[in-house]
């Protein structure tokens, strides 16, 4: 069987694992303290970077952009609502005008119908009168002839 050599990183990993087993309690405490100290230093650097003038200026710029965007959105909404209100008012006015035109047309039709009915009634009355006159004339002629 051929001998297989472990990669170097795997061997280093094993050595580190063994080293952690061979350390004393004081060494582990000091390593934990160093890790904690490094973490606190990183947090302090991050905090100081966040509180730096450039960072504050970037936050203020982002806030200004956000406010401007919100203002544009509000302006677009207001414009849209105004247009919708104008369209609704135009539709209401158009419907009212249409209704008024229909009402005027109905009234004109009713007036024309009433006028037509009155003419027909007058014509019928004239025909009736002419018929009655002819009848009376025939009767009178009959009576005269007796």
Give domain limits for the chain: 24-145
Q: What is the mean pLDDT of residues 126-138?
A: 93
Polymer length in residues for the chain: 146
Q: Indicate the pTM of the whole model.
A: 0.43
Question: What is the average pLDDT score of the chain?
Answer: 87
Distance (Å, rounded) from C-alpha 31 to C-alpha 115? 114
pLDDT for 48: 79
Percent of the chain with pLDDT over 90: 62
Please give the pLDDT value at position 97: 96
């Amino acid at each position: 069987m051929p001998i297989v050599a472990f990669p170097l990183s795997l061997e280093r990993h094993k050595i580190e694992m063994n080293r952690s087993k061979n350390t004393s309690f004081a060494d582990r405490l000091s390593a934990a303290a160093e890790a904690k100290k490094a973490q606190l230093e990183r947090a302090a650097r991050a905090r100081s970077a966040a509180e730096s003038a450039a960072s504050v200026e970037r936050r203020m710029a982002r806030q200004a952009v956000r406010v401007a965007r919100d203002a544009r959105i509000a302006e677009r909404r207001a414009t849209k609502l105004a247009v919708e209100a104008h369209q609704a008012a135009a539709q209401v006015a158009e419907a009212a005008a249409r209704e008024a035109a229909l009402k005027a047309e109905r009234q004109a039709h009713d007036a024309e119908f009433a006028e037509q009915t009155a003419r027909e009634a007058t014509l019928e009355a004239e025909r009736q009168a002419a018929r009655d006159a002819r009848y009376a004339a025939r009767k009178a002629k009959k009576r005269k002839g007796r």
